Amino acid sequence: MKRALITGVTGQDGLYLSELLISKGYEVYGLVRGQNNPKLGLLAATVPEVRVLTGDLMDMSSLLRALHAAEPDEVYNLGAISFVAYSWENAHLTTDVTGKGVLNLLEAVRLYSRDDLTRVRFYQASSSEMFGKVQEVPQRETTLLWPRSPYGVAKVFGHHMTINYRESYGLHASSGILFNHESPRRGPEFVTRKVSQAVARIRLGLQDRIALGNIDAKRDWGFAGDYVEAMWRMLQQPHGDDYVVATGSTHSIRDLLEVAFTHAGLDDWQRYVVQDERFMRPAEVDLLVGDPSKARSVLGWEPTVSFDELVRMMVDHDLIEQRALAGV
């Protein structure tokens, strides 16, 4: 039986990855921070098989302890401060967790593995946010990185540190440059879930409007359930490497609004949307679209859920959830 340790196990991807690994017969250990983490209940209800270990990416000795307890074949580093807007307000914290946290975990893996660095395979959750002010369209593994947020800068650090441990120590370390991926488990602070929740509430008469920032930005949005499969496939390769994981299609937030409102039976989304300066960013990433050809050819990975299907899935979920919450 293979063993895996996942940081960020309480997040969207952590839940999907845990389910995937459990279905493949893994023993899964999840690192959870805090003395009374409010998401522990969700984790236990969704994937009760996960064995919880306490730790924090900023506390290297807790990472070493977790490695000794789990004795993992594979380590997936999904933990991060992941909300881009928050990273401007908390740049130091974002740097410590999302950037230096990667170094802490890599170093813990190196110390834990001692003389045998083939013992553990390592996955780093890199991000298309690293492309920022894009220097090439579509973005691929070799595209120059030009981050536009403290989060993006921290991810660039973690990305290059992962490559450096591969090149310096021969660690089987892979970096998945994942483009935006969403699901009904997405946090409500991200734009897709903010829209799907608001559309459901407007449809049910619980809310009048939705306030948004820049609705002209474009993203390459896929389904999170598909993307965790790519993470796992990376660690099954003979060597660590870097892979872009994306759909290859891009859509604006306007497109998102059109599909979401129409699916809920509401015409003319413009009636419900107001622009609010509070949601504008100091520097925007205007356009992301990935070239997933390496993931396709080497990993045999393909996305299975289209943009329209993804948005409809999220709206359907939120209609049920909001109805239940409101008792209507």
- Catalytic center residues: 127, 129, 151
- Of 194, 203, 312, 317, which one interacts with ligand G4F (CB under 6 A)? 194
DSSP code string of 111-176: HHHTT-TTS-EEEEEEEGGGG-S-SSSSB-TTSPP---SHHHHHHHHHHHHHHHHHHHH--EEEEE
Position of tokens 């897709």? 192
Look at residue 81 and give the partner it binds from ligand NAP, ligand G4F, none, a contact being a CB closer than 5 to 8 Å depending on partner kind.
ligand NAP
Q: Is 268 exposed, middle or buried (0-12, 13-18, 19+ CB in 10 A)?
A: exposed
- Of 281, 316, 321, 323, which one interacts with ligand G4F (CB under 6 A)? 281
Strand bridging mode 222-223 / 273-275: unpaired
Look at residue 56 and give the partner it binds from ligand NAP, ligand G4F, none, a contact being a CB closer than 5 to 8 Å depending on partner kind.
ligand NAP
How crowded is the C-beta side of 47, counted as CA atoms within 13 Å?
A: 26
Least distance to ligand G4F from the beta carbon of 189, Å? 6
Work out whether 150 is an interface residue with ligand NAP (CB under 6 A).
Answer: no
Work out whether 78 is an interface residue with ligand NAP (CB under 6 A).
Answer: yes
Contact 80, 125 (CB under 8 A): yes
Using alpha carbons, select from 20, 143, 160, 3 the residue that is nearest to residue 74: 3
Work out whether 217 is an interface residue with ligand G4F (CB under 6 A).
Answer: yes
The size of the chain, in residues, is 328
Look at residue 219 and give the partner it binds from ligand G4F, ligand NAP, none, a contact being a CB closer than 5 to 8 Å depending on partner kind.
ligand G4F
Work out whether 191 is an interface residue with ligand G4F (CB under 6 A).
Answer: yes
Contact 191, 253 (CB under 8 A): yes
Specify the stretch interacting with ligand NAP by CB under 6 A; choose among 2-10, 108-116, 228-236, 266-274: 2-10
Least distance to ligand G4F from the beta carbon of 137, Å? 15
Look at residue 281 and give the partner it binds from ligand NAP, ligand G4F, none, a contact being a CB closer than 5 to 8 Å depending on partner kind.
ligand G4F
Work out whether 12 is an interface residue with ligand NAP (CB under 6 A).
Answer: yes
Instruction: Give the C-alpha separation, 198 to 191, whole Å.
Output: 10
Contact 76, 9 (CB under 8 A): no
Q: Is 214 exposed, middle or buried (0-12, 13-18, 19+ CB in 10 A)?
A: middle
Least distance to ligand G4F from the beta carbon of 20, Å? 19
Residues that bind ligand NAP (CB under 6 A): 7-8, 10-14, 33-34, 37, 39, 56-58, 78-82, 97, 125, 127, 178, 180-181, 187
Residues that bind ligand G4F (CB under 6 A): 82, 84-85, 127-129, 179-180, 189-191, 194, 212-215, 217, 219, 253, 279, 281, 284-285, 288
